[in-house]
Copies of this chain bind each other. A is one copy, B any other.
Amino acid sequence: MSGGAAGRGGQLTVVGLGPGADDQMTPQARAAVEAADILFGYGPYLARIPPKPGQARHPSDNREEIARAGAALEAAANGARVAMVSGGDPGVFAMAAAVCEAIEHGPAAWRELELEIVPGVTAMLAVAARCGAPLGHDFCALSLSDNLKPWALVEHRLQLAAQAGFVIALYNPVSRARPWQLGRAFELLRQALPGTVPVVFGRAAGRADERITLTTLAQADPAQADMATCIVIGTGETRIVPRPGRTPLVYAPRSAAAAP
């Protein structure tokens, strides 16, 4: 059935919508969304896209990634031009990996489909831009979700990241089902890093309802974060530059001293 999919012109584009502000979505992403017959994606991301006559949309819950990827691939295999939308960048804790996984384990015909991935501005870049350059030297990005990996691995990675002197960007810091993990992560990091290390809670960066909060590791309160927050944790080298009448700049110096 889907063997003739390529011939029928079906294709799947996995699109990064960027952090949320309209003018931070690339023209490539906008064109990919406009060209689609069918849109798939997590409801709140689909809600960012104005309705278009004749264009179907299939919003879904955020935990159904593999099922959603499979449904999108199936529709593409049946000849449709399908766009799967993600917030931020689709390759960073978002739908591109789920689509690749579905292709690996799905029918052979899915490997023949035209697949395009359209990158976007991921949350940590948008948050960083709003407060200076906290990612200005080596950094890592870590999902705090233990839905798909053991919590022990998260702790292991946090400890090594702190030892390495990486700035740490935390994605998926909390959810209803994961209430204690962020507090535990801060505890662990307080054992490894000075309490003065700057911490930025960034929510909806660049949007009207933006909330960017600067605090320290010692004072970081997990209750400040929700599902849509990206947290940037500096290092002992991160600088804070006070500015009269403006929010302070937070940045990671480009130069670093010797290895510990």
A37 to chain B minimum Cβ distance, whole angstroms, is 21
* Complex: A19 Cα to B119 Cα, angstroms: 10
* Residue A64, interface by CB 8 Å: no
Q: Please state if B243 and A111 are interface contacts (CB–CB under 8 Å).
A: yes
* Residue A129, interface by CB 8 Å: yes
From 130 to 144 in chain A, residues with beta carbon under 8 angstroms from any chain B beta carbon are: 130, 132-143
Set B128, B155, B164, B259: member contacting A119, Cβ < 8 A? B128
A97-B133, A100-B136 known; A111-B150 Cβ under 8 A: no
A27-B23, A138-B141 known; A117-B97 Cβ under 8 A: no
Q: Please state if A119 and B125 are interface contacts (CB–CB under 8 Å).
A: yes
Q: Please state if B143 and A137 are interface contacts (CB–CB under 8 Å).
A: yes
Q: Please state if B254 and A65 are interface contacts (CB–CB under 8 Å).
A: yes
**Interface segment out of the listed A86-94, A179-187, A190-198, A212-220:** A86-94
Interface string of A142-178 (1 = CB under 8 A from B): 1100001110110111001101111000000000000
* Residue A79, interface by CB 8 Å: no
Query: Looking across the interface, which residue of chain B has its beta carbon closest to that of A171?
Result: B138
Q: Please state if B148 and A96 are interface contacts (CB–CB under 8 Å).
A: no
* Residue A24, interface by CB 8 Å: yes
**Interface segment out of the listed A39-47, A48-56, A222-230, A245-253:** A245-253
Task: Please state the number of chain copies in the assembly.
Answer: 2
| Contact sample, A vs B, 19 pairs, CB 8 Å cutoff | A22-B27, A65-B254, A90-B133, A91-B134, A97-B133, A100-B136, A104-B241, A120-B121, A138-B141, A138-B143, A139-B140, A140-B141, A141-B141, A148-B254, A148-B255, A150-B258, A157-B164, A160-B164, A161-B166
- Beyond A23-B28, A119-B121, A139-B140: 17 further Cβ-contacts under 8 Å? A22-B27, A23-B26, A24-B27, A24-B28, A25-B26, A27-B27, A91-B133, A97-B253, A100-B249, A101-B251, A118-B129, A119-B126, A119-B129, A119-B206, A138-B141, A157-B164, A160-B160
Closest 8 CB pairs of A and B: A97-B136, A100-B251, A96-B133, A140-B140, A149-B256, A148-B255, A97-B133, A160-B164
